Structure 1
Amino acid sequence: MKKTSFIKEVKENLPSGLVVFLVALPLCLGIALASGAPPLSGVISGIVGGIVIGILSNSHISVSGPAAGLAAIVLAAITELGSFELFLCAGIIAGVIQLVLGFLRSGSISNYFPNNVIEGMLAGIGIIIFLKQIPHALGYDKDYEGNLSLFETGYNIESVINYIQNLPTTIHLGAIIITLVSIVILLLWERVEPLKRLKMLPGALVAVLSGILINEMFVRMGSSLAIQSEHLVKLPIPKSFEDLRGMVVTPDFAGFANSKIWILGVTIAIVASIETLLCIEAADRLDIHRRITDTNLELRVQGIGNIVSAFIGGLPMTSVVVRSSANANAGATSKLSTVIHGILLLVCVVTIPMLLNKIPLATLAAVLLLVGYKLAEPSKFKHFWEKGKYQFIPFVVTAFAVVATDLLKGVGVGLAISIFYILQGNMKRAYYYSREELGEADEITIKLSEEVSFLNKAAIKKTLKNITPNSKVIIDARNTAYITVDVVELIQDFTNVRAKEDNITVELLGFKTSYQEYAEDQHSHISIDHKKAM
């Protein structure tokens, strides 16, 4: 029975694993190039992320590998240290710190990321993926695969104009033909029912094979449409096992005596952990079954992955939105898809690097164009618009902040907007009246909400300040389950001092009989006794 279940799971996840493999291969190579590291180091990181983290993690959709967000840190570190072997020690340190963070249950902070911010982050990443793949689709490849900075000089009118003006100068007709053919194939595989049933033959594989065949045809014809090596996957080709072994770099353990490497390890651990937690939340949102990942376990697993990767010459890794999105989009149902992609990376890089080097980046751009569109499709913006401004504004601000800056800064801006609305919402209470309303009324009733925290103190204070002399005030706490001592003291001071001086009659409903009860309640958070007087 278990064997049948496993076979079924393989059938369900082999196509998605293959798609992620095709997407991950150029990303691993591109990020290694941008990091100033050996090309194989990115692939090693992808293999470990697929096999080791795939097996140990309980995330069903997330895919780990070398992260674009760490590329700048790695490049600066390797440049300063002058040695990739020394840098690998920082990867080991980062992995150990992540292990410790996992055991300290630091992953629970991901529970405080609002859904609209996570969805905004996904939409922003989708926009970046789409826009960054347009040059690759046209035949321009100076920008490395996996780069998630839309404008290298920052987001401004000049950078946008330069981006648009440079597009026509990058056009290669052969790349455009392959891109268009690939997109047609991918759309047919999604929408034509007989083709959709071909689960073991994913559209991405057909598109890639078609891209290879079309370009080989152009090459043999001697056509100007032929795509040259600069627009193809570039994987190092070992001529023997000794060559392959020589490409694998191991750590120089003398680096552990260098204080700079320890600081670098801590930096990588913090950035990688935050990116992983954000991506795990995003992956759970992409999971059609809405399964929840144990983020504390994920941090521990990421730590193990980074230790293993660094020991065998791989780059630091995180959970990665681009690969996870491609995985979900391809129909993955379990983490077996991630493991399959890692196995394919290992087997294909060792056995058929020459064939992989014939894959046009244009056909992979077609796959990612559709992934990007689905992450940021207009219906998502409409969905949050219909939820109201308190959901829509943090969503759209996060999306465009991610595009204008980077993932971490964009999410930070989105969180700040969300917190602002949370604070604003907490301070809005039915018990606040304007000065004019208070002035016209002889009797005022202030009904406290179910929970009254220090955030409500300012609104209550303003209300009490605006109550006119010779009036009557009823402060009703009968429906209140919790009230902070700060607010209790504020009401006591008003009742015992101001009310007596201004001849204001105060009636208190639902309050406890002693201050001590409130002090104890701050820790126990038990319900307020319904008394008629304080």
Structure 2
Amino acid sequence: MISAKELKNPHVVRRDLLASLVVFLVALPLCVGVAVASGVPAELGLVTGIVGGLVVGLLPGSKLQVSGPAAGLTVLVFEAVKEFGLSTLGPIVLAAGLLQVVLGLARFGRWFRAISVSVVQGMLAGIGLIIVLGQVYAMADLEQPGSGLAKLAGLPGLAADIVTNQEALTAFGLGAGTVAMLLLWPKLPARVRIVPAPLAAVALATAVASLAGLRPAVADVNGLLNAIDLPGGAEFSRLADVAVIGTVLAFALIASAESLFSAAAIDRMHDGPRTDYDKELVAQGVGNTLCGALGALPMTAVIVRSAANVQAGATTALSRVAHGLWLLLFAALLPAAVGIIPLAALAGVLVHAGCKLVPAKEFGPLWREHRGEAVLLAITAIAIVVTNLFEGVVLGLLLAVVKSAWETSHVQLTTHELTGGRVVVTLTGNATFLRLPRILEQLEKLPQDQPIELDLTGLRHLDHACRVALENWARRHNNAEIEPVTIRQ
């Protein structure tokens, strides 16, 4: 929310309006690029950016993070549109938004912070790899294969096509030049870097294509109102499909996790008010509900635009609301400008964004200090590439739970021989089924010609599987007519 006191301060208003222009210039190519990569009209990306600014920007939660179409959902949207059709995207996004609102009102927002960071990093890394693998085909104006494995297998053929096909080589050159510009931009003088890197790279690629008389593929532009297709009753009836329900859950959970982890990252970048996670989840849900009603792309809070907002000096929500206004004015007054941007340049922007999602620099230190977390990250990322986003994330979460259970189920077994030949075996810690093989292996090694007492009073936790196994072990020994086993609990 923007307070009246903030709006009365001309210094704050001027600073936040300038910041909003920076965010707008960063958001513009990303909104268009994410839409094209998702297999939907370019204008729908602008619609989501506009809603993220003008609607979510006014709602409480986080003052400084910016919402819009995200590269992290590109893969999921592309798969949903391919499987269910563009007309079903709206109901899916709307249902996911309503679910987010319910979760926020039920105060589930804070629980998203309990998700393993390694799983989230693995999710982002997997998404980044899929984006890069898919968009390198788009950089050459070639159709990308459907699955992650097919994209990998098709890379040699892609290289051959680029070398032998002049049109593919030209398009790939524009895309590669865009990536090179994005990598070079941070090294340029500060006065040059006033222009956001994505805008500069796309503008340069467009200018080169125009001046050189090239004819690369460009986005189809039909105007904002023509691109919006309000879903009807037939489309909403698809929500009864089990596969569609699974996609709704995936949209809601992944969009929520990405938004709230983005909020945590942005909160570390400024000293202003902290994010209210439950309210932010409601705000994201309201935004997605409206986007779904308009048939547009889903939204999340986006780290790139949010970081640009903070770094540009914004201190209130005015900057993110105003950036939505600039997007609306652009889409209404200059829609044809989108139609001259080479798709290869937009693909280059997304290849760069996808690479930034892969935590390559962080993986080495993580491997040295927390090897289990590094393995969890890698497995989640690989599973997303090999299967799909939803199944990869579910696998990562399950492995995180198993890993946590394994690490917390430490049990120590000590043996003391008392006078009279009696052996006391003391178990301490947490005895769970994960440690059963080790416990039973050590018990089988105990002498059978001496009375044995199992002391379980030092256990903090004894699950049902362990209790039954210990009782069965004692019963077998007693039935074998050897020295008896007693259990002290």
- Aligned residues of 2:32 and 2:42 also touching (Cα < 8 A): no
Alignment of 1:366-385 (within 5 A): 366-376=348-358, 378-385=360-367
Deviations 1:27-72 (A, max 9, x none): 22453xx35xx66445323422343234336355463338431344
1:404 aligns with 386
Closer, same or farther: CA 5–470 of 1 in aligned 2, 3 Å: farther
- Aligned residues of 1:98 and 1:269 also touching (Cα < 8 A): no
1:327 aligns with 305
| Structure-1 separation of matches of 2:343 and 2:184 | 20
1:270 to 223, 242, 249: 249
2:141 aligns with 141
**CA shift at 1:8, angstroms?**
3.8
- Aligned residues of 1:124 and 1:403 also touching (Cα < 8 A): yes
Deviations 1:410-465 (A, max 9, x none): 222322333343343345533289xxxxxxx985653512x455655665455445
- Aligned residues of 1:53 and 1:301 also touching (Cα < 8 A): yes
- Aligned residues of 2:228 and 2:296 also touching (Cα < 8 A): no
| Structure-2 separation of matches of 1:475 and 1:9 | 69
1:359 aligns with 341
Q: What percent identity do the matched residue pairs reach?
A: 22
1:446 to 419, 426, 435: 426
**CA shift at 1:374, angstroms?**
2.7
**CA shift at 1:346, angstroms?**
1.5
Question: Which segments of 5 or more consecutive residues in structure 2 lack a partner in the other structure?
Answer: 416-420
1:63 aligns with 67
1:342 aligns with 324
2:28 aligns with 21
1:315 aligns with 296
- Aligned residues of 2:61 and 2:277 also touching (Cα < 8 A): no
| Structure-2 separation of matches of 1:108 and 1:417 | 22
- The structure with the largest alpha-carbon Rg is 1
- Aligned residues of 1:276 and 1:318 also touching (Cα < 8 A): yes
Alignment of 1:501-520 (within 5 A): 502-503=482-483
Alignment of 1:485-524 (within 5 A): 502-503=482-483
| Structure-2 separation of matches of 1:405 and 1:180 | 28
2:47 to 41, 44, 47: 44
Deviations 1:199-232 (A, max 9, x none): 642233332332233233223xxxxxx234x2x3
**CA shift at 1:481, angstroms?**
4.9
Higher mean C-alpha deviation, range 294-303 or range 387-396: 294-303
RMSD: 4.3
Say yes or no: does 1:116 pair with 2:118. Answer: yes
Closer, same or farther: CA 484–10 of 1 in aligned 2, 3 Å: farther
Partner letter of residue 152 of structure 1? G
- Aligned residues of 2:33 and 2:42 also touching (Cα < 8 A): no
Alignment of 1:52-451 (within 5 A): 52-56=55-59, 58-59=61-62, 60-61=64-65, 63-65=67-69, 67-68=73-74, 69-74=76-81, 76-78=83-85, 84=87, 92-107=94-109, 110-137=112-139, 140-143=140-143, 151-153=145-147, 155=149, 158-169=153-164, 172=167, 174-175=170-171, 178-179=174-175, 181-192=177-188, 194-195=189-190, 200-219=194-213, 226-228=214-216, 230=217, 232-237=218-223, 245=225, 248-252=228-232, 254-255=233-234, 259-263=237-241, 266-267=245-246, 269-280=248-259, 282-284=261-263, 286-287=265-266, 289=268, 296-311=278-293, 313-315=294-296, 317-319=298-300, 324-327=302-305, 330=308, 332=310, 339-376=321-358, 378-431=360-413, 446-449=426-429, 451=430
- Aligned residues of 1:327 and 1:337 also touching (Cα < 8 A): no
**CA shift at 1:190, angstroms?**
1.0
Partner letter of residue 358 of structure 2? A
**CA shift at 1:116, angstroms?**
1.1
Question: Which segments of 5 or more consecutive residues in structure 1 lack a partner in the other structure?
Answer: 144-149, 220-225, 238-243, 434-440, 509-533
Partner letter of residue 208 of structure 1? V
| Structure-2 separation of matches of 1:198 and 1:384 | 35
**CA shift at 1:483, angstroms?**
5.1
Deviations 1:253-275 (A, max 9, x none): x549x754555875553232122
Partner letter of residue 214 of structure 1? V
2:418 aligns with none
Deviations 1:327-355 (A, max 9, x none): 36757457766545533331111111222
- Aligned residues of 1:39 and 1:236 also touching (Cα < 8 A): no
Partner letter of residue 305 of structure 2? N
Partner letter of residue 146 of structure 2? E
| Structure-1 separation of matches of 2:431 and 2:288 | 45
| Structure-1 separation of matches of 2:66 and 2:445 | 55
Q: With structure 1 as the length reference, what TM-score do the two structures score? A: 0.70
- Aligned residues of 1:106 and 1:296 also touching (Cα < 8 A): yes
| Structure-2 separation of matches of 1:92 and 1:288 | 28
- What secondary structure, in the 3-state scheme, does the structure 2 residue paired with 1:274 have? helix
Closer, same or farther: CA 462–176 of 1 in aligned 2, 3 Å: closer
- Aligned residues of 2:436 and 2:466 also touching (Cα < 8 A): yes
